Amino acid sequence: VNRRTIRQPVRLSGAGLLNRRRVSVVLKPGRTGQGIIFNERIKATPGRASVKEHTTCLGRGRNRVCMVEHLLAACAGLGVTDLNVESTGGELPFCDGSSLPYFSALDQAGVVELDAELTPLTDVGSCLARDKTGFLWAEPAPCLRITCIAALLGYPGPDELSLDVTPAVFAKGLAGARTCGPLAEELRVFRRRHGIGFRLVRRGGVVYPKDERMEAEPVRHKILDLIGDLWLLGRPVCADIYASFPNHKLNLAFAREMEAQ
Ligand SMILES: [Zn+2]
């Protein structure tokens, strides 16, 4: 596998999830080997990541950029390793709550191979991270496979799924999986602010998209988030991963554990 970047810049804008302002992001080609760099100074690594209000953030204080996981997941899905990200407003646009807008933008900008090889992370030993309710566990394997069971209050569909994460599976079965979560705001107001064209429903205190794009969409989104957080490692992971009730904090602890191997 080679490192990859994009051919030309591409821009996305929309409402932020956290501060409710309109925010925008420009994705630009990166130099070979630089990694994914936010606002010219923050490199995407597990060590620079933190969690705020259920989103993954990079950097600190005024330089912090939140909600980076759906962009990182899109980069993982397309194998983009070297990228410059210029963000305004302290967070990336929420869009439809999936990775698809980022995936499409990168795809449109043209993903190109760079003249440098990328070594996947295979030596995962028996990495383990856990908290009060869940755990993440990895075993060495030739390809990435993720088995996930999620806590989905009120969701009537399957809450468990096992996937071989190939580029095709990512494009068709993960990129478009939308998020779900607690939401204090009125659904109508939230939809208008984010320009969301699909219906939402509140179940057991959690808000879900009403009509599913794919079966088990919420658990697919949990897998998507994990893929995004693991892309902080800067290279693909070849492992069998078992994720039981994952969340961003747990994902980051797991990424740090893998990095230390
Ligand atoms: Zn997410």
pLDDT of residue 125: 79
pLDDT for 204 equals: 87
Tell me which residues have their CB within 5 A of the ion that is ligand 1.
Answer: 179, 225
| pLDDT bracket for residue 98 (50, 70, 90) | very high
Tell me the per-residue pLDDT of 10-39, one tens digit each, with 9 for 90 and over.
999 999 999 889 999 999 999 999 999 999
Which residues are tagged catalytic? Answer: 248
Ligand 1 centroid to residue 235 C-alpha, Å = 20
For residue 224, report the distance from its CA to the centre of ligand 1, in Å.
7
Average pLDDT over residues 85-95: 97
Q: Does 171 or 154 have the greater pLDDT score?
A: 171
Residue 66 CA to ligand 1 centre (angstroms) = 12
Cβ proximity of 220 and 173 under 8 Å: yes
Closest to 177 measured CA to CA, from 210, 223, 142, 136 = 223
Checking DSSP bridges between strand 36-38 and strand 42-43, what pairing results, if any? antiparallel
State the pLDDT at residue 259.
93
| Chain center to CA of 67 | 8
Distance from the alpha carbon of residue 99 to the mean position of ligand 1, in angstroms: 8
> Once rounded to an integer, what is the mean pLDDT over residues 151-160?
92
Annotate 78-114 with DSSP letters as a single string. Answer: HT---EEEEEESSB---TTSSSHHHHHHHHHH-EEEE
Whole-number CA gyration radius for the chain: 17
Please say if the pLDDT value at position 126 is more than 90: no
200 Cα–ligand 1 center, Å: 16
pLDDT (0 to 100) of residue 38: 98
Residue 168 CB-density burial (10 A; 0-12 exposed, 13-18 middle, 19+ buried): exposed
Helix (H) or strand (E) holding 151: none
Q: Give 58 Cα–ligand 1 centroid separation in angstroms.
A: 15
Give the amino acid at 231. W
Confidence category of residue 73, pLDDT binned at 50, 70, 90 = very high
Q: What is the pLDDT of residue 49?
A: 98
Close Cβ partners of 174 (under 8 Å, ≥ 6 residues apart): 73, 77, 99, 163, 165, 220, 223, 224, 227
Q: If DSSP codes are grouped into helix, strand and coil, which group holds residue 41?
A: coil
Phi, psi of 146 (to 5 degrees): -120, 125
The residue among 175, 144, 174, 5 whose CA lies nearest residue 85 is 5
**Residue 62: pLDDT over 90:** yes
**pLDDT score for 220:** 98
Q: pLDDT at position 127, please?
A: 86
**Helices (DSSP H) in 138-203: which residue ranges?**
167-173, 187-194
**229 CA distance to ligand 1 centroid (A)?**
10
Helix (H, G, I), strand (E, B) or coil at 191: helix
pLDDT tens per residue, range 205-255: 899 999 999 999 999 999 999 999 999 999 999 999 999 999 999 999 999
